[in-house]
């Protein structure tokens, strides 16, 4: 089942996908453009992987790490499907990152990789934008690179894990203004989903709502205000996002 969360008629609704449309709890069937989308779940602790695809590390001129390069993301970064992401005025290179997001469904610590899938609730798509201007060292990502408001669209659907036969063999694609600019497969992850869960749970408890952003393949392209960016993962869906220019905010 594909589950989502939307605003319609001034109220928040938990919805499901039906024939490509949005099914409200009262039985109304709406087109996706008729609702305002929220993240499909409430993110708790969010782990993001840097350099988990060898070719992406290469295009950034970094060596593949010997152990996971993990950083945390704040809740301010997340927005829903069809949302707007702000490009900072001072940015000269801002790029998308299409990533498979793994959502934890039950608490666990010291989880063995053989049992890792038992702790997963489902999967969604994340587009984890990076502002490369502030990248000092990829092994210690600067907060200004990865924790900016609106810079991590996520959704549209949370897909039950039972719906995905093999999450380690999914095609990822990105389109900018209708042109394909990125393609890869989760089969090329250097550290698999079970290995990541085993690693993270070896020193901390994973809880429901925690989320792992598993990294992105090569294909980083600069995006600008006015661009439409679509990140797509096989079996999960298409996450649409629009880049807007930063506006001056005057403190009250």
pLDDT digits (tens, 9 = 90+) for 56-102: 555 555 555 667 889 899 999 999 999 999 999 999 999 999 999 99
pLDDT beyond 90 at 132:
no
What does the pLDDT read at residue 67? 76
Which of the four pLDDT bands, split at 50, 70 and 90, describes residue 228?
A: very high
- Asked if CATH classification 3.90.850.10 holds for the domain at 39-245, the reply, yes or no, is yes
What does the pLDDT read at residue 85? 97
What does the pLDDT read at residue 145? 83
CATH architecture of 1-38: Roll (2.30)
Same fold, 1-38 and 39-245: no
Name the average pLDDT for the chain.
92
Listed ranges 37-41, 131-135, 214-218; the one with the highest mean pLDDT: 37-41
Burial class (CB in 10 A: 0-12, 13-18, 19+), 80: buried
Mean local confidence (pLDDT), 200-205: 97
Q: What is the DSSP string of 149-179?
A: TT-EEEEEEEEEGGG-S-TTS-EEEEEETTE
Distance CA(236)–CA(184), nearest Å, equals: 15
pLDDT beyond 60 at 251:
no
217: enclosing H helix or E strand: none
Burial class (CB in 10 A: 0-12, 13-18, 19+), 200: buried
- The conformation of residue 35, written as its DSSP 8-state character, comes to S
From 74-78, 137-141, 168-172, the region with the lowest mean pLDDT: 137-141
Under 8 Å CB-to-CB from 82, ≥6 apart: which residues?
32, 33, 36, 37, 156, 240, 241, 242
- For the chain, what are the domain ranges? 1-38, 39-245
């Amino acid at each position: 089942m594909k589950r989502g969360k939307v605003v319609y008629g001034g109220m928040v609704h938990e919805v499901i996908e039906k024939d490509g449309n949005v099914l409200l709890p009262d039985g109304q069937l709406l087109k996706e453009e008729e609702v305002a989308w929220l993240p499909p779940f409430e993110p708790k602790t969010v782990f993001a992987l840097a350099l988990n695809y060898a070719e992406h590390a290469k295009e950034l001129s970094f060596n593949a790490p010997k152990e996971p390069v993990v950083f945390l993301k704040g809740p301010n970064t997340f927005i829903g499907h069809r949302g707007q992401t702000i490009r900072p005025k001072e940015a000269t290179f801002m790029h998308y990152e299409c990533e498979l997001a793994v959502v934890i469904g039950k608490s666990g610590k010291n989880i063995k990789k053989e049992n890792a899938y038992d702790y997963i609730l489902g999967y969604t798509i994340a587009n984890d934008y990076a502002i490369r201007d502030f990248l000092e060292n990829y092994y210690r990502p600067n907060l200004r690179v990865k924790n900016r408001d609106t810079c991590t669209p996520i959704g549209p659907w949370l897909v039950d894990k039972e719906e995905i036969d093999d999450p380690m063999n999914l095609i990822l694609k990105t389109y900018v203004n209708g042109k394909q600019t990125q393609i890869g497969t989760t089969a090329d992850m250097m550290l698999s989903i079970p290995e990541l869960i085993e690693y993270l749970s070896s020193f901390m408890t994973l809880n429901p709502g925690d989320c792992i952003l598993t990294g992105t393949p090569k294909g980083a392209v600069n995006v600008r205000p006015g661009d439409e960016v679509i990140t797509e993962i096989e079996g999960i869906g298409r996450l649409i996002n629009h880049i807007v220019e930063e506006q001056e905010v005057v403190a009250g």
